[in-house]
Structure 1
């Protein structure tokens, strides 16, 4: 079938829209690398809680790269079909992609903890719950961005695909990618919930260690020791319940 000028233009426009979505995957890569790049934010006592998430993130990142490559190949194929050059990397467009990394805002309480050597003890042992909360928000931003990209690609297919030879196959292949992106969004949302829950545990651990350090720095009384023992028992119950929930969420 000989493609008319109008159809060729539609193909090029459609390819450009897909390319714009593909470029936005760079923001997903960058944001996910930030939130898994520093395990020390969880501290020595809590780092093990996030190990399973980090393992699953590696698989998530592989799927992101796979889909991004699929979109790149689809764009190249559409350009070849339209008799146009394949798009080259556009640094201006890439620089314009907004960051998905949530900003860190230090609370007044966190600022108070940063006075004196107690800060270093707490950071090393229990981690930094404020930063972990930011990581959870970043995962949420990633999930929303992936969902929006899937919706936009589906909209492009509904309104911009002309009746060229092979259009049905293009729609089929793009449909698989769209569903995969929606699946990535669901996993990212689960990561957000899990990291947020781990952040609560880290904050509880931090409070417990802070009370223990302060309580033992002065002459401990029976009442002080009893209160700490009760806090540890309550924390143990909460820890077990939360970890069970996290395991179910990861496997669900």
Structure 2
């Protein structure tokens, strides 16, 4: 029985270690607000606020798992193994790589590119951030399923296991909830990325048009596009607010 419980504690610890990858990945996607550009950075403020709460819950669940593992080892008088930095370093990263967009030839001109990056952000980086959120959501869903399987396989034969089942049940439900929120963050970030890309195209066309002595017709078309963009922006923001509120 002791051997089975120690193995069970080790399995829970392996899941807890993987939470570090979740924390690191989520820190990457909110670590640099400049990727949204000056014109769209304000859109992400509500997401950042909710992300702070998400991080608090991740830390809370991780600490719960740590205490449960330590309690199981202590209950049966078994010394808990020291942390294995090699195993921790081997946990796969959840951060999606950035795949740079080609962009137009005009957009590659140094000064114009710098202006576009500063004003309208980096859509390719935001797309990678969205994929990172989806990776986090999938990893959390898998971790919840693994913990549930460990309970079903290991615990039924224990005497007095009710409290352990109760505590772990709460943690599993919390991780499932985190997965759903992470998926929502992915969807929201993806939507913001589309918004940033649209803003970038509009600013680029405006700069190019003004650089070549625009006609009245050109200015009229730009005005119409800005009006349409304004309507699309309002619809996007409404959707984001609704998605954030569940």
TM superposition score normalised by structure 1: 0.95
Per the TM alignment, residue 110 of structure 1 is displaced from its structure 2 partner at its CA by 6.8
Per the TM alignment, residue 168 of structure 1 is displaced from its structure 2 partner at its CA by 1.2
Task: Tell me, yes or no, if the aligned pair for 2:140 and 2:176 is still in contact at 8 Å.
Answer: yes
Q: Distance in 1 between matches of 2:163 and 2:200?
A: 55
Note the residue ranges of structure 2 that are not aligned, 5 or more in a row. none
Task: Tell me, yes or no, if the aligned pair for 1:136 and 1:191 is still in contact at 8 Å.
Answer: yes
Per the TM alignment, residue 111 of structure 1 is displaced from its structure 2 partner at its CA by 7.9
Corresponding residue of 2:38: 44
Corresponding residue of 2:152: 158
Q: Distance in 2 between matches of 1:30 and 1:110?
A: 34
Structure 1 174/237 Cα, relative in aligned 2: closer, same or farther at 3 Å? Answer: same
Per the TM alignment, residue 166 of structure 1 is displaced from its structure 2 partner at its CA by 2.7
Q: Distance in 2 between matches of 1:167 and 1:110?
A: 63
Corresponding residue of 1:128: 122
Q: Distance in 2 between matches of 1:218 and 1:51?
A: 36
Q: Distance in 2 between matches of 1:35 and 1:146?
A: 17
Corresponding residue of 1:22: 16
Equivalenced residues, count: 246
Per the TM alignment, residue 132 of structure 1 is displaced from its structure 2 partner at its CA by 0.3
Among 120, 137, 144, the alignment partner of 2:131 is 137
Corresponding residue of 1:91: 85
Task: Tell me, yes or no, if the aligned pair for 2:147 and 2:172 is still in contact at 8 Å.
Answer: yes
Structure 1 32/222 Cα, relative in aligned 2: closer, same or farther at 3 Å? Answer: same
Corresponding residue of 1:204: 198
Task: Tell me, yes or no, if the aligned pair for 1:10 and 1:162 is still in contact at 8 Å.
Answer: no
Stretch moving more, 63-72 or 164-173: 164-173
Corresponding residue of 1:101: 95
